[in-house]
Amino acid sequence: MKKLCSMLVMIVLITALVGCGESADKKVDSSAADEGKITIWAWDPNFNIAIMEQAKEIYLKDNPKVEIEIVDYAKGDLEQKLHTNLASGTTEGLPDIVLIEDYNAQKYLQSYPGSFEDLTGKLKHSDFAPYKVGLMTLDEKVYGVPFDSGATGFYYRTDYLEQAGYSAADLENITWDQYIEIGKNVLDKTGKHMLALDANDGGLMRVMMNSAGSWYFDESGKLNVANNKAIQESARIYKELFDSGIAKPTSGWGEWVGALNTGDVASVTTGVWITGSVKAEASQSGLWAVAPTPRLDLPGAVNASNLGGSSWYVLSSSKSTKTAVDFLNTIYGSNVDFYQDILVNRGAVGSYIPSQSGSAYTKEDEYFGGQKVYSDFSEWMQKIPSISYGLYTYEADAAIFGVMPEIYNGGSIEEALKKAEEQVKSQMQ
């Protein structure tokens, strides 16, 4: 609890304080003094901020009278500040454009109706990956500008897999059960674990669920945990990964990435954003390749999925709405060269489809044995099932991984997931 409850208590207290000191309907937008200035909030100086700085530089060449201020927050601080301002009803201090993680998009849109600009018809959303557009759509209106993709892939060490007797063709479009059998042979023939895995991290489970077109909530937003076949199957796979001995237990990002770079594990299945971390170990150049994501053995499951990703939103309180929308449309909604540059310089795979036929996307990558990895990711991205993340992804994530130790110890998957579902229900009330 009780992160959500704590947040709500905080919001109530701040709302009360605002009510005492300032009228909630007093609209003071200090972030945009006129139509010529826009303020942008984002996180991650090496990725989102750096890319937005590049977008700013391009836009200002043709629009020199516009002023753009980019504010770098820690992700948690940005989310708390945005929630606090929107819940209190005051727009003072809000930016004109804000970056929102895709998992949280519907929470903002449904919790604060009218706070975000309806961008339907203001840019060509059909040019973006459909699953990204679906995440920012509410009541048939589209509220955001899709940004980076978390399209996933099955990165593997070609030398270890070949030593175990597998070719690239053997790794195409496999199930997770096949992956486990391959992992057992890799462990037997090479002594290497097949993957590194934190027993308390839900990232891989979200990859599995998404590939089956399922989530913790159904399309109507109703909680769907206890009887969710995709979650049940994912929990079974998690247990089998550890029971089989092919998973190297790790804790935290550093150990997880370290297992890749030291050569301790033969593969990793995650978002395309891991590419830079994999390539950070120069001595392994030419020893990696990427195959489609393994799928659950369920009807309708596909060998494509997503993990993470974020998008840009314009606040309705902005006094520079036209400028903000024009900026996003000009750069993120139509500039193919921009997407080529951020792919090469930042490893960012955007979800703007017209950019994905450019030379940067079709270039052979020697680190991956000459594979055109970004061309492959672009193809897989368009196969990712479009789902609704609902409002409480992280709360459900935490509840399920609170009961996973029962499953690891041989307890009933169904009974454990019932407990998790009851916990999430209590947080939603």
* Spatial separation of the C-alpha atoms in residues 4 and 392, rounded to whole Å: 9
Q: Is the pLDDT of residue 24 over 50?
A: no
What is residue 215's DSSP assignment?
A: -
Mean of pLDDT values over 296-312: 96
* Spatial separation of the C-alpha atoms in residues 354 and 74, rounded to whole Å: 31
Q: How many CA atoms lie within 13 A of 265 on its CB side?
A: 24
Strands (E), 32-88: 37-42, 67-72
pLDDT in tens, 104-135: 999 999 999 999 999 999 999 999 999 899 99
Q: Strand pairing partners for 289?
A: 156
Instruction: Say what the pLDDT of residue 35 is.
Output: 55
Q: How far apart are the first and last CA of the chain?
A: 11
The answer for residues whose C-beta is within 8 angstroms of residue 400's C-beta and 6 or more apart is 202, 205, 216, 225, 231, 235, 417, 420
Structure tokens at 205: 């489970």
* Spatial separation of the C-alpha atoms in residues 279 and 346, rounded to whole Å: 12
How does strand 267-271 pair with strand 137-138? Answer: unpaired
* Spatial separation of the C-alpha atoms in residues 111 and 64, rounded to whole Å: 37
CA torsion through residues 397, 272, 329, 91, sign: positive
CA torsion through residues 91, 97, 101, 105, sign: positive
How does strand 267-271 pair with strand 97-101? Answer: unpaired
Q: Is the pLDDT of residue 17 over 70?
A: no
Buried b (16+ CB within 10 A) or exposed e, 99-108: bbbbbbbbbb
In percent, how much of the chain has pLDDT > 90? 77
Question: pTM to 2 decimals?
Answer: 0.82
Instruction: Say what the pLDDT of residue 347 is.
Output: 78
Q: Is the pLDDT of residue 1 over 60?
A: no
* Spatial separation of the C-alpha atoms in residues 337 and 352, rounded to whole Å: 11
Instruction: Say what the pLDDT of residue 23 is.
Output: 32
pLDDT in tens, 384-413: 998 888 889 999 999 999 999 999 999 999
* Spatial separation of the C-alpha atoms in residues 220 and 24, rounded to whole Å: 32
Higher pLDDT pick, 357 / 157: 157
Q: Among the listed ranges 21-25, 54-58, 140-144, 235-239, which one has the minimum average pLDDT value?
A: 21-25
Q: Strand pairing partners for 175?
A: 295
* CA neighbor of 228 nearest in space, from 217, 238, 243: 217
| pLDDT averaged over every residue in the chain | 90
Mean of pLDDT values over 272-300: 94
How does strand 152-157 pair with strand 288-291? Answer: antiparallel
Instruction: Say what the pLDDT of residue 39 is.
Output: 97
Instruction: Report residue 12's pLDDT band, with 50, 70 and 90 as the boundaries.
Output: very low
Q: Is the pLDDT of residue 253 over 90?
A: no
pLDDT in tens, 189-206: 999 999 999 999 999 999
Q: Which residue is listed with tokens 């000459």? A: 370
Give the burial class of 60: count Cβ atoms within 10 A of its Cβ; 0-12 exposed, 13-18 middle, 19 or more buried. Answer: middle
Pair 213, 301: CB distance under 8 Å: yes
pLDDT in tens, 38-92: 999 999 888 899 999 999 999 999 999 999 999 999 999 999 999 999 999 888 8
